[in-house]
Amino acid sequence: LSMGLPNSPMAGARLRVASGNFVTARPLGVRDGIDYQHTGEVRRIDATGIRAALERGDIVLLSAVGYSPTGEIFNLRSEEVATAAAIALQADKLLLLGEEDCTAGTGGKLIRQLTTDEANRLLAAEQGLNTGVRPDIEAATRACTQGVARAHYLNWRVDGALLMELFTRDGVGTLISQAPFETMRPARVGDVPGILDLIVPLERQGVLVTRSRERLESGIGDYLVIERDGTVIGCAALHAHPEAGMGELACLVLHPDYRRGERGTRLLAHIETLATRSGLRRLFVLTTQTAHWFRERGFE
């Protein structure tokens, strides 16, 4: 927040940082025979005062210290202050930084995303989350169940972690949200621009037949999409011919960045399920360049 660094982008910048008694605290007291003395917990966040400072263009700095109405000062957990503030402000995002990646079990593989239900199951499991991240994931889960849209847990040891999390679609940390970050669902008319972004490059290459916007809009009920963070990254269609007991699988496309991870197979499986539910006995596909992919998955 320095404004005095010469020959830097911050030279001459005017930043106002506002702090104060935005956090009201109460003592933890005596628990299990231990007197926690000057350690406390958040009692209230002055959301009105914080919003007033933000509207003035100030950066609001909340320290891990809270004040009681009687003038006492208490040490607080930083993640508790951040979570309580995010909930009080109904923030779009809560970002928590820790010293290690969020992993589970013995595999040690980074968990990229969790719903609140999945996070709670991992927190309750014996071989669940690694110990170092548990307080942050607990805080993130609580925030998301109380109105915060998303919470991100980041390993601050990763150089540029904050920038990469915010300015790349997949990020480098762990995302917690109430709803899944990536979902497969029936397409809506509002998805047509996203579908066109996927299929137009393949139409130009001759891989797909050309579909106009009007054709997509009129037949949108036939389409499924995979949506990731508000962006359509995959689609497929089932054109039914019930009089012949057959259905055509069409327009199965994935964004080039997401052609690994079995998303295509998931789309195919969902189309097969829809065909079966509709009473169709056979499913066929017309393709000029991807026949082997379909043969590998049971087509003849």
Which amino acid does the sequence have at 10?
M
Give residue-wise pLDDT tens across range 19-40. 988 999 999 999 999 999 999 9
Give the Cβ contact number of residue 192 at 10 Å.
Answer: 19
Cα separations (Å) of 99 from 40, 68, 126, 170, 264? 24, 31, 22, 20, 36
pTM given for the model: 0.68
Structure tokens that stand for 192 in this block: 């047509």
Beta strands per DSSP E along the chain: 17-18, 23-27, 30-31, 34-35, 40-45, 59-60, 65-67, 73-75, 93-98, 113-115, 150-155, 174-177, 182-186, 223-228, 231-241, 246-254, 282-284
184, burial (CB in 10 Å: exposed 0-12, middle 13-18, buried 19+):
middle
Residue whose token pair is 């605290």: 25
**pLDDT tens digits, one per residue of 207-222:** 899 999 999 999 999 9
Judge whether residue 147 has pLDDT over 70. Answer: yes
pLDDT tens sequence across 79-96 = 999 999 999 999 999 999
* Cα–Cα dist 142/84, whole Å: 9
Q: Using the predicted structure, report yes or no on whether residue 106 has a pLDDT greater than 60.
A: no
